Amino acid sequence: MKNKIGEKILILRLSAIGDVLHATPVARELKKLQPDCHITWLVSPPADKLLAENPYIDELLVWDRRPLDKAFASFNLPAACRELKKAWVLLKARQFDLVLDIQGLFLTGILALLSGAKRRIGIHERHEGNPFFMSDMAPNIESPHKVHRYLSVLMPLGFDMSNFIPGLTLNLPQNLREFAGNFWQQHGIDMNRPILMVTLRTTWPDKNWAPENFGLALKDLPPQVQIVFCGAPNDEAYIQKAQALLQRPSLSIAGQTSLTELAALLQSADLLLACDTGPLHIADAVGCQTLSLWGPTQPDVYGPLTAGHEFVITPHECRRCLKTKCQHQTNACMQAITPEMVAERLKAIFFPQQTHKRWKNK
């Protein structure tokens, strides 16, 4: 089907942080395909903050899906209808020619239908009856990586995957240009010494590594490496467990930054140590090197595609289950990653710092 000049296109990817960032190449490549198209993106908080400065998005529609999820969980149909109506009001004021549903849920299928667009293209994930709402489906490509799977939605429009150059889009607002330097100075962090940021927790219990393991893996790092723990306010108790085993100074900034402020700090840091979680993908988007730990999910599906990232993959045979909670209730895959394994990789990164391009002047 020939693409229309200046067509109005709606992208549906509501959440979560990592998935929204993984979807940003869709907007970038779409603008290359159709420079004069008008791209609207429907997103749910808090991920909207990561798209606010995206130069490839012409209009950002923010609709909070969390009340709808809560209504569905409590079987409150009237409340669910009220929340859906809020989304419909946002969408009906615009006339879309095309919808790209890169979330592939029953919910996003409904939203695609509510948009009024006659052409609706979905990804080849086939979740929850989503194809029922689509007029077209993306082809089933060989690559398992989410970035590639999301980009496949452009293939019916003529996109050639072989031309794709990896990279996520996360532009920070101008008022954050000096944020990192001021923040580190206020917290006693020397930007002339290596900064290692660490995030302990994820939204999936199955992806978490014990906080004590983090402490043991970090405790023998050279003293010039400054350790900064980040995360949500309720991560503080876990951070304290890790700090208790460090036997050296460290800083916790859990709950002290917004998502974009965290992105600015990561942009100024030298390394992020994390499991498969939102800050990992924020770090990738702003060019911070990462060392990440993998059990129920795997980096060939979710990991950074750009250079400068290293992975510790569980040696346990039970892995890649993609379950939010371990079906064996043992979390054996993450437990099989030992502190010694991570410490060895950290030492390999930090000890040759005199010749490392990012740390040669630190």
* Tens digit of each residue's pLDDT (9 = 90 or more) over 14-26: 999 999 999 999 9
> What's the confidence (pLDDT) of residue 5?
56
CATH match for 8-163 among 3.40.470.10, 3.40.50.2000, 3.40.30.10, 1.10.1240.10: 3.40.50.2000
Query: What is the average per-residue pLDDT within 148-156?
Result: 97
* Tens digit of each residue's pLDDT (9 = 90 or more) over 155-180: 999 999 998 999 999 999 989 989 99
Residues 312 and 294: beta-carbon distance below 8 Å: yes
* Tens digit of each residue's pLDDT (9 = 90 or more) over 91-147: 999 999 999 999 999 999 999 999 999 999 999 876 778 999 999 999 999 999 999
Query: What is the average per-residue pLDDT within 210-234?
Result: 95
Question: What would the two tokens of residue 2 be?
Answer: 């020939």
* Tens digit of each residue's pLDDT (9 = 90 or more) over 284-304: 999 999 999 999 999 999 999
159: left (phi over 0), alpha (psi -120 to 50) or beta: beta
φ, ψ dihedrals at 267, nearest 5°: -60, -30
Q: Mark out the alpha helices in the chain (DSSP H runs).
A: 17-33, 66-73, 77-92, 106-114, 146-151, 179-186, 211-218, 236-244, 259-268, 278-286, 299-302, 332-335, 339-350
Q: Do 8-163 and 178-350 share a fold?
A: yes
> What's the confidence (pLDDT) of residue 354?
44
> What's the confidence (pLDDT) of residue 362?
46
In the CATH scheme, what is the code of domain 178-350? 3.40.50.2000
Q: List b or e across 233-259, with b for residues whose CB sees 16 or more CB atoms inside 10 angstroms.
A: eebeebbebbbebbeeebbbbbeebeb
> What's the confidence (pLDDT) of residue 109?
95
> What's the confidence (pLDDT) of residue 350?
87
More confident residue, 86 or 127: 86
Where are the chain's structural domains?
Answer: 8-163, 178-350
